[in-house]
Each structure stands twice: as structure tokens, then as C-alpha cells.
Amino acid sequence: MTLTLTPAEQELRAFVARTAARVLCPLAEAWGERDEMNWDLVRALGKEGVFPLLVPSRYGGSLEGPFRAMTLCLGREELARCCPPAEELFAIQGLGSYPILLAGSEAQKARYLPPIARGEQVPAFALTEPEAGSDAAGLTTAATREGDGWRLRGEKRFISNAPVADVYVVFARTEPERGTRGISAFLVEKGTPGLSGRPMHTLAPHVIGELAFDCRLPASSLLGPLNEGWRIAMGTLDVFRASVGAQAVGLAQAAFDLSVAHARSRVQFGEPIARFQAIQMKLADMATEIRAARLLVYSAARLKDSGAERVTLESSMAKLYATEMAHRVVDQAVQIHGGTGVLRGHPIERLYREARAGRIYEGTSEIQRLIIARHLLRD
Ligand SMILES: Cc1cc2nc3c(=O)[nH]c(=O)nc-3n(C[C@H](O)[C@H](O)[C@H](O)COP(=O)(O)OP(=O)(O)OC[C@H]3O[C@@H](n4cnc5c(N)ncnc54)[C@H](O)[C@@H]3O)c2cc1C
């Protein structure tokens, strides 16, 4: 397996960086740290061809073949390095649309994917509940048959893009006695009577909220086969966990680059602090850890793109190592910046806050370790 980038992948990365510098960063800067949906940025990500990287061309995107985990990871890494607010939108556009791509009918794909690719609509992935976080299989949101459709009742929490998303992929129990084999996925559109939501507010700006459902859904809202929801959710997280690692690599790279520049320019005791070995040791460790994390992310993505159905072990390792690495690297970057690093609004202070939640969402670091250990110990 080669971990170097092909010319097409290098061009993809350069395209994302160019688009970020030219269009996305100015829009994100003008918006500031508001945790509301920046619709101008959403539209630009669609119009400039960044969201289309996630969607096959027959549904309005620019993918000529199947979905590529490497494209997702490179897009997330580069956006996280250049423009974290755009990265978040890109990530959730993928997380919410991938289950539709994975399991949707032709009619569902044709209805939902083109406006998502164009940046006219935003989706959301709704698994977590107030009483079911790490233990997502303990979810209690339930869908029961009502006429020729469904009655959906329950609550979700910490849902990115809620409460303003246009379509929610909602995981609900359809046969409670069958455990994870009795969970199904549903598509719930904004404006459905009985759907309500409100925003939550996190350390770094993020559009996220809680949802409550008491909705009547048509039969056509079922996504994938009945009782296959858990497989859809886990198949999605398999790909997206590695990409959380890619985001962490991008954030850490940004912190590293700023640290090198600061170490070269900041003079203390009559010389740039980069001359002090204590600073050099930090920079050496940071660069080494970033490279190690990047290789773990790329190897998980390459394995997925080579046709492996599941890459659970590799994806969990990539997410665990990269998000923990980003925490250490950004912390050292703050240290290298001294007091400047904790000034509110300074890029390093923002990276410190932006990197934190990666160790929690899509499975905490503790849960990734449990998954990895389960694989290592099984017969
Ligand atoms: C910014 C952000 C965005 C998110 N976006 C989404 C989204 O779009 N869709 C969605 O469905 N969810 C989303 N989430 C939810 C996220 O996936 C959960 O927060 C996460 O899975 C942890 O669940 P919890 O917060 O309930 O913590 P808990 O499960 O209550 O965990 C609390 C602590 O206990 C530890 N713990 C729990 N069980 C064990 C165990 N068996 N062994 C050892 N330690 C354990 C955890 O590791 C953690 O340290 C998001 C969360 C955040 C913060």
C-alpha cells in the first residue's frame, strides 16, 4: 500500500487550499465566532466545488467513481489546516449524506444528494441521545407502524447542524427486543410536523443542537432495509472516524506551522527562541507525531478505498492517535507562543478550542481503545 499522494490527490489538496484562501477564509473571517449556520460559506462550498467532492456525478457531485475515503480525508485535512469553519461544514455535509449514498434508494439519492452537493441544503446524522452517548446501541428513540407509515418518538442530543438542517438521518428502534438488529434509519425533513429542536453551545463555535420527535413519517422515509440501521450507522462511522483523524492532522499542522514561524521571529535573551534546544525538542516531537498520525489516517483511507468493506480497527486507531496527538501538539504550540497563545481570538487559542471535541465525537478516545482491544483480543 502506498502512502504517498498520487498527482491527482496532490492536485485535490492544492485545489482545496486555493479555494480556501480565495473564497472560504474571507467568508469565515467575516462571520467571526458565531455558532449559527454561515449560509454564505455553505453556498460557497457548494458553488466552488468542495461539497461536490463528496457526491457522485450522477447525483450532482464531481465524483466519477465510488465515494473515496481518501478524498474525504484530504479535504478535511486541508480545510482544517486552512479554514476550520469550512472543514466543519464539509465534514457534516459528508456525515449526513454518506448514509444516503450507502443505503438510499434511487429516489432518495436523487431527491437529497443534488441539493447537498450544491450547498443548497445541509444534512445531519442523528444517533446520540440524552441517555445514549458512548452506549449508542442503548438508544430509545422508537419508530412504530402507523397506517402505511411510521410514528417516530424520541429525543436526540449533540446533533451537528441541528436544529437548522434540511434533512436528518435518524436512528430509531423498530424492534426493541432485537437489540442492534432492531434499529432502522429514517430520513426526517425539516418542517415535518412534530419535529422540534434548539441549539446547544460548545467550546468552539459549532452548529449543534437537540431534537425532539413526535412525528408521522411516510413509508418512503425508511432509509435502507428495515432493521439495518445499526449497520448503516457503523458503516458510516467506519469511514468518518478516520476522517476525524484527518481533521486533527490538519489542525495540528496549522499549529505547528504557526509555532515554527513564531519560534523564528520571537527574540528572547538576545536570540530567536528557535535557537533554544527546549523549543527545538518540542518542534521535533510535534512534527514526528503529525507525520505518524497522517500515515495512520492515510493507511485507513487507502484500505477502505481498496475495497475493504469494514476498516473498523484501522479507523479507530487513526482517530484515537490523531485526535490525542492534536491535543498534545496544539498544547505545545500554545506553550511555544507563551502568553500570546492564550490571547482570545489568536489563531493558536482558536486551534486549542477547535481541537478539543475531536477526542469526544464519533466515539470518545476511551471507546476507540475498547474497539481496538476488542479486535486485538478476538479469536
Ligand atoms: C462537537 C460535537 C459534535 C457532535 N456531533 C454529533 C452528531 O452529529 N451526531 C451524533 O449522533 N452525535 C454527535 N455528537 C455526540 C458524540 O458522539 C457523543 O458526545 C460521544 O459519543 C460521547 O457521548 P456522551 O457525550 O454522552 O458521553 P458519555 O457516553 O456520557 O461518556 C462520558 C465519559 O465516560 C466514558 N465512558 C463511557 N462509557 C465507557 C466505557 N464503557 N469504558 C470507558 N469509558 C467510558 C467516555 O469515554 C467519556 O469519557 C457530537 C458531540 C460533540 C461534542
Q: Which of 247, 246, 223 is nearest to 235 (CA)?
A: 223
**Sign of the Cα pseudo-torsion (179, 182, 186, 191, in order):** negative
Q: Is the pLDDT of residue 168 over 80?
A: yes
The predicted pLDDT at position 379 comes to: 72
Instruction: Determine phi and psi for 227, rounding to 5 degrees.
Output: 70, 15
Q: Which domains does the chain have, with CATH numbers?
A: 7-122 (1.10.540.10), 125-230 (2.40.110.10), 237-377 (1.20.140.10)
Per-residue pLDDT, averaged over 194-219, amounts to 97
The verdict on the CB of residue 168 being under 6 Å from ligand 1 is no
The predicted pLDDT at position 3 comes to: 80
Pocket perturbation via mutation, ligand 1, pick of 158, 168, 251, 353 by most ligand atoms within 8 A of CB = 158
The verdict on the CB of residue 208 being under 6 Å from ligand 1 is yes
**Residue of the nearest CA to atom 31 in ligand 1?**
134
**Residue of the nearest CA to atom 38 in ligand 1?**
134
Give catalytic residues, as residue numbers: 362
The verdict on the CB of residue 125 being under 6 Å from ligand 1 is yes
Query: Cα–Cα distance between 83 and 297 in angstroms, integer?
Result: 20
What distance in angstroms lies between residue 179's CA and the mean position of ligand 1's atoms? 20
The verdict on the CB of residue 224 being under 6 Å from ligand 1 is no
Pocket perturbation via mutation, ligand 1, pick of 364, 367, 369, 371 by most ligand atoms within 8 A of CB = 364
**Residue of the nearest CA to atom 23 in ligand 1?**
133
Q: Is the pLDDT of residue 1 over 90?
A: no
**Residue of the nearest CA to atom 17 in ligand 1?**
361
Q: How confident is the model at residue 373 (pLDDT cuts 50, 70, 90)?
A: very high
Neighbours of 353 (CB within 10 A): 17
What distance in angstroms lies between residue 361's CA and the mean position of ligand 1's atoms? 6
Alpha-carbon distance values, 125 to 138, 230, 279 (Å): 17, 13, 42
Helices (H), the chain: 7-19, 25-31, 39-47, 69-82, 84-103, 106-118, 229-265, 277-305, 312-337, 347-356, 365-377
Q: How confident is the model at residue 2 (pLDDT cuts 50, 70, 90)?
A: confident
What distance in angstroms lies between residue 220's CA and the mean position of ligand 1's atoms? 30
Average confidence score pLDDT of the chain: 97
**Residue of the nearest CA to atom 2 in ligand 1?**
361
Percent share of the chain, pLDDT over 90: 97
What distance in angstroms lies between residue 363's CA and the mean position of ligand 1's atoms? 6
The predicted pLDDT at position 288 comes to: 98
Query: Cα–Cα distance between 170 and 173 in angstroms, integer?
Result: 10
Percent share of the chain, pLDDT over 70: 100
Pocket perturbation via mutation, ligand 1, pick of 360, 362, 371 by most ligand atoms within 8 A of CB = 360
- pLDDT tens digits, one per residue of 48-92: 999 999 999 999 999 999 999 999 999 999 999 999 999 999 999
The verdict on the CB of residue 360 being under 6 Å from ligand 1 is yes
- pLDDT tens digits, one per residue of 5-25: 999 999 999 999 999 999 999
What distance in angstroms lies between residue 226's CA and the mean position of ligand 1's atoms? 26
What distance in angstroms lies between residue 132's CA and the mean position of ligand 1's atoms? 8
